[in-house]
Chains A and B, each alone.
Chain A
Amino acid sequence: MNAFQYAAPGCLQDALRLLAAYPDAVLLAGGQVVINEMHRAERAPSPLIDLGRIDELKEIIETSDRVWIGAGVTHTQLAGHPAVKNWLPALVQAAQAVGDLQVRNRATVGGTIAYGDSCGDYWPVWYAVGGFVQLISSTGVRQVEIRDWLAGRCSTALRPQEIVRGIILNKRNRSYFCKHQVSAGETVTLSLAQGGETARLAVGGLTELPLSIELPPPVDEGWERRWKETAATRIDAAADPRATRYRKHLARQSAHWLIDKHAAGGVP
């Protein structure tokens, strides 16, 4: 790798100042994407701004109905945190399904949000539970609804001079996740989450952006059947080159399993 400038600011304000001062600056979180790009000489940052020393990004804060997860939290830290374990079990499962141990120990929530790979494992969970991406820039804090964040595979609503600060997620202790490997590097992932009257199923890997399926409130008898029908109809309607018969089949099957699992946990 060539020589490059490196900065490790201790607070967000310093990071923002550096970002403003250097147009070719690149932010570094877990580095699992950035370092690889530098190694392949696809990026020559000047400087590389390491967010790893900013303590406030490493926090996970629980409020009465939400969980705030800092951008600097790694997949491993997330999966081990009591608030996440209690209130977002699907997210723990997703975190544990990411890549391998080395990747999970380094890659971060913020890097995942900014990288915006819509086929990544967190997205169906985030879509299903709902919440906001939180950003900070010199002009203040901005929040974007999760469903408005992704614009395509690896394309997001991130603006220049903005730093992802964290993500705010609705507490959903009844949430589920599953992942199927279809072929090398290709997966179909699903998540189901319910909180009060709202229930949502999200499917990754079928369409360019995760497919978000609102489910009717589980009030009357036979709600499981209606959920399954709704899921199947929406999945079957997916029109995308990657939505092959096989992937749709896997998605339908998995939707059934998740709904059955939910139902087995007692009437919601």
Chain B
Amino acid sequence: MASKGSGTSLSNPVLRSEDRRFLRGAGRYLADLSFPDTYHVAFVRSSEAHARIMDISTEKAYLPGVVGIFLAADLTSELGEVPMVWPVPGLQNPGHPLLAKETVRFPGEPIAVVIAADEQTARRAAKQVKVTYHRLPVVANLLQAVDRQAGGAAVHPEIADNIAYVWEREFGDPSALEKADDSFFQRLIIPRVAPLPMEPRGLIARYDREADLLSVWASSQFPHVLRLSLAVVLGHPESRIAVTVPDVGGAFGGKMNVYREDLLVAYFAKRLNLTLRYVETRSENFMAMTHGRDQIQDVRVFYTRRGRLLGMDVTIHANMGAYLQGATPGIPLFTAQMLSGCYRIPYIKVRVMGYYTNQAYTDAYRGAGRPEATYLVERVIEMVARKCGRDPLSVRLKNFIRRTQFPARVVTGLTYDSGDYSKALKKAAAKSGIKYWRSEQRARRLRGDRRQIGIGISSYVEFCGNSPSSAHAQLGLKTGGYESAVVRIHPTGAVTVISGSCPSGQGHETVWAQLVERCLGVAQEQVQVVTGTTTGTPWGGGTYGSRSAAVGGTAIYQACQRLIEKGRDYLQHLWQVKGEAIGFEQGVYSCGTRRISLQELAPRLYLAHDLPYGMEPGLEATVFFEPRSYTYPSGTHVCIVEVDALTGKTSILQYVAVDDCGHLLHEPIAKGQVIGGIVQGIGAALYEQIVQDEQTGQLLTQSFRSYHLPKAEDVPPIVTDHLCTPSPVNPLGVKGVGESGTIAAHPAVINAIVDALSVYGVEHVDMPATPEKLWQLCQMGGETE
């Protein structure tokens, strides 16, 4: 339901127009594209986590149909490296070659490129390339790096202690801690997980030597950044590269990166003058797409007996992986920035330490640093409540930023735009019947039931609307945060909307068309949405960080406003009245009894027979919208679990989400985003983890057989509701909703499990809360009793 009195939200959402295509199997994904004379690429990948390459023998790999096999030494020296745009101060960057030269540093690292006439031959040939390794000591996970357990193993010999960087800040006034009655220490481990879009990555590159035109089709979140990277790395004119993004089957951050595979496929297409196609397998997606999270957080918490959270001293150990992808070093800085959560915390000291390990690169994954922050803050507030013997609801209420305090500047330096945290909490509590569950919990505890009930609360705030470019500058991120739009009204009155942000399943087509209908009064059937082509759209940052509505949507909105103004200027001349006297509603201008629609004006502006002096013909506007601030969605989720102490199994009995993402542009889409996000959060909380063998570093989770993604039967019914505090920082009043579900879900589930097992003396459990782990905790509790 659209919020009342918003004026900018539609109360009658339409079905998603793209679903007609998707649900009938008529979507066109990368692997559906076919070109004549296509050759196929396969990669020889490292089977080792860390090894010196002693020998590479390609002799047996020249199967019939193989066009070429290329090693690092075969690449031209002018070829650049994988671009990295976040040089955090003090960063030790080991570089990121396109193919491993002497050493491989993570399982799946590309060693050689095989090109063949068909996909299977390329793959079979890649298997026939024999690589002889000399194994080196491995840093198999973050804990080994942090505890220097790896026996002196160095991922990059020139980088001491595998430390990529140390970033420290002290926020607020340390004297606030003097009022603390007590403090405690807690280590929280947030495991490495895989984004796992339904459609893996892929790229097709085609080179036209005559025109010197490099055409690329990619399953990507940001075609323009891919084009820019190709231009820089390949040394090819950016104007002669065309990137097209077809339908994308999910991305979750994994496709907002330019990978070695992408650069190599494009490079060889040009060098060999061939059309090349690469679509990764699921195992390759597990191995070589960026992973997410992977932090160890050491927290000291200062609080008063009455449940006031006064300060935190936090060290965030963050796993970079073996090399840096585009934004790898910066993601944990987002965690640092969001450490105040929904609360008034007077003092926060934070140290972020990045480490190299013999693992795949980390980078943004749905939430990008904010889930880690929310997890920390929401686990901490829960622990404070428990230590003070107080209700976690009231402790939250006590510490919340109040409704009247917005815009609220928190100690980490951010200014939250708007919110009503207490209202969301109360609404979620009422909706989930917490009183009932508390009494059920008491009853089960009294009778020593093997199935214990737990209630988990998670109040979150996060930032979206990435981003004010100045905020990038502050964090050392070498990108801008704006977004572009072109709105073109054709002579017939039909409209083309061109947006720099392109969908990977979210429903941009529907929402953009709806937005234009609302602004210009043009029926959606007359509106065509164009995204995902670098030749057809102005520069676009891409779709990530729940930014499309707040930034891309605002750009469209402003372009529409410019066209309305142009129409008004023209009418001022035509009707000989003052601009203020001309109203505009639902696509129609009026002044007194005179009425004319914007669509009727369009042909006149193209004929240009009677334009006022100095007015350009046509009816088209291009806007680059630079946001002046982040937006801050918030809300409270409540999760009810039942944990079987005998088997350690957790069942989620109920999940309620109350979210405030500002005005809703399309309710079902927002709801879908929330639910999908929650499911990914539940997955990480209960099941998911990328694991490498502690001794050899071998990747143990490279298929769905060994990596448990939540299945339909694992997903509880999820009830959603919302409230709306419109964002004052953009004219649509929207905030963003793509990641909040995931951000809120981790602590909601874990808090519930800890609550259930508190009868066994359990105070904390790290994700994923597997049955075995929970059973062991119950056993230990049982013994100490």
- Chain A residues with CB under 8 Å of chain B are 1-2, 40-41, 180, 182-185, 244-246, 249-250, 253
Contacts and interface: CB of A to CB of B under 8 A. Distances in A.
Most B CB contacts (10 A, CB to CB) among A2, A244, A245 go to A2
Contacts of A183: 708, 770, 772
Interface residues of B, number: 22
B98 to A, nearest CB: 25
B775 A184 contact: no
Contact of B771 (A1, A2, A182, A185): A182
Interface of B: 118, 120-121, 123-124, 127, 281, 646-648, 687, 701, 704-708, 770-772, 775-776
B190 to A, nearest CB: 19
A246 B772 contact: yes
B441 to A, nearest CB: 24
B706 A2 contact: no
A82 B120 CA distance: 44
Contact of B772 (A41, A182, A253): A182
A249 B775 contact: yes
Contact of B705 (A2, A180, A185): A185
Contact of B123 (A41, A244, A249): A41
A41 B647 contact: no
Contacts of A2: 118, 120-121, 124
A244 B124 CA distance: 38
Given A182-B772, A184-B687, A246-B648, A41 B705 contact: no
A261 to B, nearest CB: 16
Nearest to B125: A41
A185 B118 CA distance: 32
Nearest to B705: A185
Contact of B120 (A41, A244, A246, A250): A41
Contact of A184 (B121, B707, B772, B776): B707
B772 A185 contact: no
Nearest to B122: A41
A253 B708 contact: no
Contacts of B123: 40-41
B647 A185 contact: no
27 contacts: A2-B118, A2-B120, A2-B121, A2-B124, A40-B123, A40-B281, A41-B120, A41-B123, A41-B124, A41-B127, A180-B647, A182-B772, A183-B770, A183-B772, A184-B687, A184-B704, A184-B705, A184-B706, A184-B708, A185-B705, A185-B706, A244-B772, A245-B776, A246-B771, A246-B776, A249-B775, A250-B647
Contacts of A246: 648, 771-772, 775-776
Nearest to B283: A40
A246 B776 CA distance: 8
Nearest to B770: A183
B646 A253 contact: yes
A1 B118 CA distance: 9
Contacts of A182: 771-772
Contacts of B776: 245-246
B66 to A, nearest CB: 13
Nearest to B118: A2
Nearest to B646: A253
A253 B647 CA distance: 9
Contacts of B118: 2
Contacts of B646: 253
Contacts of A249: 775
Nearest to A44: B124
Nearest to B708: A184
A137 B121 CA distance: 35
